[in-house]
Amino acid sequence: MSREIQERIAELSGELHQHIYRYHVLNEPVITDAEYDRLFADLQDLETRHPEYALPDSPTQRVGSDLSGDFPKLRHAAPILSLSNAFDADDLANWQERNLRLLPAGTQLRYVLQPKLDGLAIVITYEDGVLTRAATRGNGEFGDDVTANVKTIRSVPLRIPVNRDQGGAPARLVVRGEILFHKNSFVELNREQQALGLPAYVNARNTASGSLKQKDSRATAKRKLTAYIYAIVEGDGVVLSSEWETLQFLRDMGFNVIRDAALCKDLADVTKRLPGWEAKRDDLPFEIDGLVLKVDNLAYADELGVVGKDPRGAIAYKFPAEEASTKLLGVTIGVGRTGKVTPTAQLEPVFIGGVTVSNASLHNYEQVAALDIRQGDRVVVKRSGDVIPYVIGPVPGARDGSETAILPPEACPFCDTRLIQPAGAVDWFCANPQCPERVMRTLEFFVSRGALDIEGMGPQTIATLIEKKLIKDEADIFYLEAAPLLALEGFAEKKVENLLASIEAAKARPFEQVLTSLGIDGVGATVAGLLTDSFASMQDLLDTSKQIRVARESFAHTVAPLLREAGADDDESARVIFRLRHPLTELAPRYQDAADLRDRLARLLKPLPVSAEQLPALAQSLADLIAASRPLHSIEGLGPVLVANIVDWFSDEHHQNILAKMQAAGVNMRAAERVVSGDGLSGQTFVLTGAMSVPRGEVKALVEAHGGKVTGSVSKKTSYVVAGDAPGSKVDKAIKSNVPVISEAELRALIAGEQVDAAGTANLL
Ligand code: IVH
């Protein structure tokens, strides 16, 4: 047995050395970070239990370092420690048991559980409340001096406490935290890259690290980095007795502190929460790679001390690996209802996070090219939560030369029409609305539950109807007649009767359901509901879209001479040109409420050769576009890209024909008359949060029936936030924004015409 262990330790050390060399020297890793972590943890575990077999050159002897040659070094106030890893509840139980053995008998440990942010560690020093230095973790003893760069990050206070009511600042406070990209900022960054014709960034953490280590802090300032602070390294005169208090103290000082930390009364309480966290992971605004568990009582944590470079009082609980590498065997091509062509990777089956994965999304061909993924490559696949598994990238180090490029097909594999790539789009499309695959997908969606909900119209039936040429598009469904159906194999009288009856019933579906069934990209039930709140009929939507299209064309016409002259010589001009080319998404929403449109436009256009004479016409043209698009842009919850999709959809002649045919067949295209009970709430906007005594939809209807409006998020325009049981963060936001918070009972009192004071209590006198 001991021989085996000794051999296994040697084997793991050898393997890890190879991987470290491939990663750091050759830049050609052959396994994923998660796979590496696993091997490393296995070795660490064996070495802890059998230190006598640990090799002197074991990879576990290395202390991680992010030092680079470009920055002066700063010595940390105290060693910047790391964390040991746990992978399951047993590991946590063992960890607690080891700790309890080091503490007085009968000790009860409480824990603080919080997300483990996947960013890079930062150590920031404040002297008399002023930020004086910031350093990367480096090798734990020295770090790179990135003070100037860190100062550009808005969530890092330059002076503490941010809010003076919190008293003074410690003479010296050294804090530790993590710098990262919020998921949406990373997506935005990649969108900008794409607009400039530059390759996309793949890994948010590496990009955050690269962004922080810019020699010119102006380059860092352009990146939307965020910092979260989670620990105190040193604090003069700061007396705190628990981790939980520490978080509160940091929050009081004005630091950005993770909101989702939980104080757990014991380890059972912690393990109970673990599965919930794995599910919640995808909903967080940032990437996490696990959780951090810390002993709450700082005196105990202190007593437990440090082993190697890890404090005993804290541990990282790593989520099951979500990534694995496998071989890409081939690529299949799908065509969706919008005509979008999607490549899917066929993989050698691989087990990831408890599931066998044999195909994964490749997103689009642009991404395939940007990542240089080749047929036959070993690829890294990620599977996380409910998201369809996708290929993160190739493992170039594993190539043997037999790999081949993956290119978009020239023609649609289903109808042989030449594929097109619209300007600025990353996707390729089959533009043939009669493509049998597109029609099939469109119809499947059209009749599905939540859409028109037509019973008896399964994929098989649809396929038969298309094949027999009884339908060519979704509107044809409403013109089906019994005789030709009865002539089909397997269509008995009863079946035909039922089918026709459910088609008849579908004509009377509520307007929002009809709108959903059209399959406009991004318009599901929720968005359809938002649209039908503002538009009384399909015709209104068609009219508004037409006006927007006309205004957009006229704007394009007005800027054309300018665009002909302007060159995208630098980033700034390229950005402005991009905005001028996409006024509906890039300009109209931004300048909606601008009183000084001409000045704003003048400022925007500075990098371009615009003459003073051109400006008024441009401003007028933009004002027209803003006015035309206001009915859509002013709907809260409808982003600019979605608005553009809607406009494009309604502008398409094929879609217009379908709508006309549906209308002629008697399909409902009008919103139901609103029940109006009063106008006591007219002009007021409400946000509902938490559980109410009746379903929230009913409360919404009640508010609307009295002339009020209900929106999804708190803003300056919100009149009241109505809080039910267990309300969400909207209440915090309301308090911060000085928006009154009232209860459901108080809302009902308001409706009844009673006064409700600002503090939120109904004045019943
Ligand atoms: S506490 C003394 N809390 O994870 C230990 N670390 O794998 C102090 N990390 O080096 C660390 N989120 O850079 C702590 N909420 C969190 C964290 C966190 C991410 C990083 C940190 C650390 C690494 C350990």
Rounded CA separation 160/255 (Å): 8
The residue whose C-alpha atom lies closest to atom 4 belonging to ligand 1 is 116
Q: Give mean pLDDT, residues 719-737.
A: 86
Q: What atom of ligand 1 comes closest to residue 316's alpha carbon?
A: 7
The residue whose C-alpha atom lies closest to atom 17 belonging to ligand 1 is 116
Give, to the nearest 10 degrees, the angle between helix 538-565 and helix 653-665.
170
Half-sphere exposure of 43 (CA within 13 A, CB side): 23
* Residue 762 confidence (pLDDT): 35
Residue 425 Cα distances to 97, 361, 496, 547, 711, angstroms: 56, 18, 43, 24, 32
* Residue 758 confidence (pLDDT): 45
82 C-alpha to center of ligand 1: Å?
Answer: 7
Q: Are 59 and 40 in contact (CB under 8 A)?
A: yes
Q: Give mean pLDDT, residues 546-558.
A: 96
Strand partners, 393: 380
Rounded CA separation 482/456 (Å): 14
* Residue 130 confidence (pLDDT): 93
Q: Is the peptide bond before 161 cis (omega within 30 degrees of 0)?
A: yes
For the residues of 313-352, what is the DSSP string, one character each? TEEEEEPPP-EEEEEEEEEEEEE-TT-BEEEEEEEEEEEE
Percent of the chain with pLDDT over 70: 95
Q: Give mean pLDDT, residues 348-376.
A: 90
Q: Are 559 and 618 in contact (CB under 8 A)?
A: yes
The residue whose C-alpha atom lies closest to atom 22 belonging to ligand 1 is 82
Q: What are phi and psi of 186, to 5 degrees?
A: -70, -40
HEC assignment per residue over 233-261: EEECCCCCCEHHHHHHHHHHHCCCCCCCC
Q: Where are the alpha helices (DSSP H) in 372-477?
A: 436-446, 459-467
Mean pLDDT highest for which of 7-11, 176-180, 273-277? 176-180
* Residue 66 confidence (pLDDT): 65
Q: Give mean pLDDT, residues 634-646.
A: 90
Strand partners, 317: 86, 291
- pLDDT exceeds cutoff 50 at 103: yes
Q: Give mean pLDDT, residues 148-177.
A: 90
Q: Using the 8-state DSSP alphabet, how is residue 725 labeled?
A: B
Closest listed residue to residue 350, CA positions, set 15, 34, 8, 4: 34
Rounded CA separation 175/313 (Å): 18
Residue ranges of domains in the chain, CATH in brackets: 2-61 (1.10.287.610), 73-318 (3.30.470.30), 323-405 (2.40.50.140), 436-506 (1.10.150.20), 530-664 (no CATH), 685-764 (3.40.50.10190)
Q: What pLDDT, in 10s, does the model give residues 641-679?
A: 899 999 999 999 999 999 999 999 999 999 887 777 788
Residue 53 Cα distances to 6, 91, 307, 308, angstroms: 6, 22, 18, 17
- pLDDT exceeds cutoff 70 at 515: yes
Q: What pLDDT, in 10s, does the model give residues 274-330?
A: 988 877 887 899 989 899 999 999 999 999 999 878 899 999 998 876 788 899 999
Residue 504 Cα distances to 602, 667, 739, angstroms: 56, 9, 48
The residue whose C-alpha atom lies closest to atom 12 belonging to ligand 1 is 116
Is 116 tagged catalytic? yes
Q: What atom of ligand 1 comes closest to residue 119's alpha carbon?
A: 19
Rounded CA separation 79/677 (Å): 67
The residue whose C-alpha atom lies closest to atom 18 belonging to ligand 1 is 116
- pLDDT exceeds cutoff 70 at 27: no
* Residue 711 confidence (pLDDT): 82
Mutate to test the pocket of ligand 1, among 83, 113, 123, 250 (most ligand atoms within 8 A of CB): 83
Q: Are 177 and 227 in contact (CB under 8 A)?
A: yes
Residue 141 Cα distances to 44, 63, 144, angstroms: 22, 10, 10
* Residue 568 confidence (pLDDT): 66
Percent of the chain with pLDDT over 90: 56
260 C-alpha to center of ligand 1: Å?
Answer: 15
Lowest-confidence pick of 25-34, 37-46, 383-392, 444-453:
25-34
Rounded CA separation 18/41 (Å): 16
Q: What pLDDT, in 10s, does the model give residues 500-513?
A: 999 999 999 999 99
410 dihedral zone (left: phi>0; alpha: psi -120 to 50; beta): alpha
Q: Please tell me which residue, 271 or 574, carries the higher pLDDT value.
A: 271
496 C-alpha to center of ligand 1: Å?
Answer: 64
Q: What are phi and psi of 210, to 5 degrees?
A: -60, -40
Q: What pLDDT, in 10s, does the model give residues 368-408?
A: 998 899 999 999 998 876 678 999 889 888 899 999 999 99
Q: What is the mean pLDDT of the chain?
A: 89
83 C-alpha to center of ligand 1: Å?
Answer: 7
- pLDDT exceeds cutoff 70 at 738: yes
Buried b (16+ CB within 10 A) or exposed e, 70-93: ebeebebeeebbbbbbbbeeebbe
Give the confidence band of 56 by pLDDT, cuts at 50, 70, 90: confident
Q: What pLDDT, in 10s, does the model give residues 214-247?
A: 888 888 998 999 999 999 999 999 999 999 999 9
Radius of gyration of the chain (CA): 30
Residues 6+ apart with CB under 8 A from 636: 530, 711, 712, 713, 715
Rounded CA separation 151/427 (Å): 39
Rounded CA separation 80/315 (Å): 15
- pLDDT exceeds cutoff 90 at 450: no
Residues with a CB atom less than 6 Å from ligand 1: 81-83, 114, 116-117, 121, 178, 230-231, 292, 311, 314, 316
- pLDDT exceeds cutoff 70 at 715: yes
Q: Using the 8-state DSSP alphabet, how is residue 56 labeled?
A: T
What type of residue is 108? Q
485 C-alpha to center of ligand 1: Å?
Answer: 66
